[in-house]
Amino acid sequence: MAVGVHHLLTGGDPGQATGKVMTAEEAVGRFVRPGAVVGMGGQNINRCPMALVHEVARQGVGDLTVVGCNLSLPLDLLVAAGLVVRTEQGSGNLERYGTLFAWRRAVEAGRVAVADHSHLTMASRFTAGANGVPFLPTRSLLGSDVLAALVAEGIAQVMDDPWGDGPVVLVRALRPDVSLIHAHRADPFGNVVIEGVTSHEVDMVRASAATVVTVEEIVPEGELNARPEEVTISGAYVSAVVAQPFGAFPTSVYRRYDFAEDEIKAYQALARHGDGTYASWLADHVLNPADFDGYLRRADPGGARRAALTESMRSHV
């Protein structure tokens, strides 16, 4: 173990501007490198880091290994952009909106390698990484073909409990080079508040060498320090904070806006065919806009859809 202060903890003096607040373009340029292991936030149709993923696609940062529990829309966009070589995940789908078509095609064609896990074993790997230990035991996977594949890959081993309570599976710690998440709010020091479920994200971030967070709003210095028990992730683990309202669109942010079912269905219809129309959609909506606000203006000119999603969420919470 390295001696001294980890770079994550050297983000500036208390009470001083930390330099963590930046644009998505700057954050992705600084922290997402070709060949990186990228921890992906969000789950299914909730709180996916869409703005950051669009930026990664625009910058064309390639040879990525994308890891997470449920990988959904963000992964599919990165695969469609040709930037992913490997995934390690518990599942890849959009639940009732179907499979991830770009990912499925790439996996079946052998262009993307896959290491399958269960959700608990992926979460356990992040928890090990977050706590500075090399592995964590679990009793999931025993007897399955999922286990056999992970053992062959050197990611899992079966051993007997040293205290005599039968076999356990040891899963290796997973420490992403950079994690990408979208959250409700953060202060300039990178203290992050997430409302609702956190899926696998807290341990994934704490295990990562760097993390970029987009937020619906950046709150003033001091506001979160008054109620630190409400902070979901300490700024100790956060490298960059980007203000991006609707940064998870078309996925949801609990208490803020619902998911845009029509947009997700439209994407799935295009991705299923994967033809020239899909390629044009990617170019027009992801690659060509100058930034995520440009995409939002294109997907929702005038903001009526966003207003409706906000109202829909308000009716449910």
- Closest listed residue to residue 182, CA positions, set 196, 191, 194: 194
- Closer residue to other proteins, CB minimum distance, 143 or 228: 143
Least Å distance, CB 299 to other proteins, is 20
> 3-class SS at 315?
coil
238 contact partners, CB below 8 Å, separation of at least 6:
20, 186, 189, 190, 191, 192, 205, 211, 213
- Closest listed residue to residue 255, CA positions, set 180, 202, 185: 185
User: How far apart are the C-alpha atoms of 20 and 39, rounded to whole Å?
Assistant: 19
Least Å distance, CB 161 to other proteins, is 9
Q: Which residues bind other proteins (CB under 8 A)?
A: 43-47, 69-70, 89-93, 95-97, 99, 103-104, 107-108, 114, 116-121, 123-124, 127, 138-146, 166-168, 195-203, 252, 254-255, 258-259, 261, 313, 316-317
- Closest listed residue to residue 241, CA positions, set 175, 181, 176: 181
> 3-class SS at 15?
coil
- Closer residue to other proteins, CB minimum distance, 10 or 131: 131
User: How far apart are the C-alpha atoms of 282 and 26, rounded to whole Å?
Assistant: 22
Phi, psi of 99 (to 5 degrees): -80, 175
- Closer residue to other proteins, CB minimum distance, 24 or 112: 112
- Closer residue to other proteins, CB minimum distance, 153 or 284: 153
- Closer residue to other proteins, CB minimum distance, 74 or 90: 90
- Residue 257: DSSP 8-state: B
Least Å distance, CB 288 to other proteins, is 30
- Residue 229: DSSP 8-state: G
Least Å distance, CB 203 to other proteins, is 7
Least Å distance, CB 132 to other proteins, is 16
Least Å distance, CB 143 to other proteins, is 3
- Closer residue to other proteins, CB minimum distance, 89 or 208: 89
Sheet with 135-138, edge to edge strand ranges: 135-138, 167-172, 156-160
Least Å distance, CB 252 to other proteins, is 7
- Closer residue to other proteins, CB minimum distance, 95 or 262: 95
- Contact (Cβ atoms closer than 8 angstroms) between residue 26 and residue 233: no
Least Å distance, CB 124 to other proteins, is 7
Length of the chain: 317
- Closer residue to other proteins, CB minimum distance, 18 or 89: 89
Least Å distance, CB 108 to other proteins, is 5
- Contact (Cβ atoms closer than 8 angstroms) between residue 272 and residue 98: yes
- Closest listed residue to residue 129, CA positions, set 167, 171, 192: 171
Give the HSE-up count for residue 160: Cα atoms under 13 Å, Cβ half-sphere: 5
- Closer residue to other proteins, CB minimum distance, 94 or 286: 94
